[in-house]
Amino acid sequence: LGYSPAMAAVARTLFSTVSRSLRGLRSSPGVIRLIEPVDPQMFGSGLKMRRAPQASLLMPFLPKSLQESPEVQQLLKEAMREAEGGLEGLDEGKVRRIIKLAFQENGNLEDGFTLSKFIAAQTALKKCTSVTVTNGVRVEGTSIPLSPPPNNNSGWGDKKSAFCYRISVENVGDHMVVLIGRHWRIHDNGSNLLHMEIPK
């Protein structure tokens, strides 16, 4: 595969680690779901957003030669599954096969490290995401921590931390629904409940 014996051992260990990490992305048995990263630049936009296809989230982290590979494109097409809550997901076994091909492709461990970072970032996003469906309306929330600028001259004051939230509301039922308002209940570290009325 282009690896020296020592590097081959490292590659096997790295592949095994990445492969095990996929389990943390399971949405339902045998199906993983990738989460689109939160973009702080979209804060407060309230835009109608189209959910990114699962394959498009994985593809940029594969070696370029594999991105153009008919085998990988076919595997991704076959990998499409329905995840929990009716969301789009990917077959875990086929994703594992694609990752294995990435490790075999160029004998380049950088490709393995890139995939490892991607899976780690996805694991972190999953921990900060929750999905619930009530009366045919699916609400998904994902949060990421923000760091104040080094000069801290942006109006943050003495705030030690801040978060950016992406909330998506989707009608998955059979009847038309209208969003008439939003109300957040946020618990701080001391379990104090903070109520926030959010304009439409």
pLDDT in tens, 161-188: 678 888 888 888 888 998 887 777 777 6
Asked if 106 contacts 18 with a C-beta cutoff of 8 angstroms, the reply is: no
- In this prediction, residue 152 carries a pLDDT of 53
pLDDT tens track for 5-49:
887 888 888 888 888 888 889 888 889 989 998 887 776 656 666
End-to-end Cα separation, the chain, in angstroms? 56
pLDDT tens track for 101-150:
888 766 667 888 888 899 999 999 999 898 888 888 888 889 888 776 55
Q: DSSP per residue over 92-119, as a string?
A: HHHHHHHHHHHHHHSS-HHHHHHHHHHH
Length of the chain: 200
Give every CB contact of residue 197 below 8 A, 6+ residues apart in sequence: 181, 182, 183
- In this prediction, residue 107 carries a pLDDT of 61
44 Rama class: left (phi>0) / alpha (psi -120 to 50) / beta: left
Distance CA 142, CA 140 (A): 7
pLDDT band for position 155 (cuts 50, 70, 90)? low
Distance CA 27, CA 38 (A): 19
Residue 94 in 3-state DSSP? helix
Asked if 12 contacts 109 with a C-beta cutoff of 8 angstroms, the reply is: no
Cα angle for residues 162, 120, 142 (degrees, 5° grid): 40
**pLDDT higher than 70, residue 195:** no
